[in-house]
Amino acid sequence: MTGAPWTAVPAQHGRRFVVTGATSGIGLLTARVLVHRGADVVLAVRNPDKGAEAAAGMTGPGRAVVERLDVSDLSSVEAFADRIGDVDVLVNNAGILGVPQGTSVDGVELHLATNHLGHHALALRMLPRIGDRVVVVSSNSHHHGDLDVTDLDWSRRGYQPYAAYAASKLANMLFLLELQRRLTAQGSSLRVTGAHPGTTATAITASSGRGWLSWIGSWGHGLVGMPAWRGALPTLYAATMDVPGNSYVGPDGLKEFFGWPTLVGRSARASDPDLARACWDASVRLSGVDLGPR
């Protein structure tokens, strides 16, 4: 990008968005800006009381409504998708980072269940009612991700929380790649775009439940990270600007840690079509949800 940094989100009057994980961090700021720019925004959140607090702080010509969604629970995903109606844009944003080893109610490793699998199922269940695009919020950590589709539950490997997080973020990127490929092959005009926030001060670093590590992560990000409103700009760009499918947006600064939104690259693994298909097949097996005809 050249010239002034991009901060001017286009008017969104008459458009409807779903933003997962909209009670804090990138999701909260994304939803807040969209409401300010005139959109109707569904805050898809695990805790409706926190969602109501978040919605009360959103002002503008748009409107925020709260719906319960636990993306780590496939039954919650199905119920949400069945009742939500037509939308223009789905922003798959909710996530966890660095939690101790555990499984979801469906028996799936928690990072994969929350950051990837639930969003895979949500997007595919909602797809017939999405008018414009799906936005996948990933992370620079996908560059360090090593996704072993034969050991998604870490039963053979020693579990490492941040390695599991990075693998789930790589899965996000592979979903972006493969969903866009399949939509294009069907002749669909829907777009799938992606974004990452760089180094941003948000509450996700405090989600590990491991006291001193959470404190260090939160303190470090608060000291050197961008404020959340700037970290949300790549997601807003991917959600509202006229970019082609499979675009990936991140900060334009050094190593994409900081800066203003621009189109950025991705790791070789994130561009691997064979790995993307393998990840898709594994996700279908675990979720029971595949892409139907449009």
Dist. CA 140–CA 152, nearest whole Å: 20
Distance CA 119, CA 134 (A): 10
How far is residue 163's CA from residue 233's CA, in Å, rounded to a whole number?
A: 26
Task: State how far the Cα of 94 lies from the Cα of 172, in Å rounded to an integer.
Answer: 12
| Whole-angstrom distance, CA of residue 266 vs CA of residue 279 | 17
Query: Measured between alpha carbons, how far is 239 from 89 in angstroms, rounded to an integer?
Result: 7
Instruction: Decide if 154 contacts 164 (C-beta within 8 A).
Output: yes
Query: Structure tokens of 48?
Result: 């409706």
Catalytic residue among 159, 162, 165, 248: 165
CA atoms within 13 A on the CB side of 123: 31
Q: Return the DSSP state at 112.
A: I
Is the distance from CB of 33 to CB of 41 less than 8 angstroms? Answer: no
Q: How many CB atoms lie within 10 A of CB 289?
A: 20
Residue 165 annotated as catalytic: yes
Active-site positions? Answer: 165
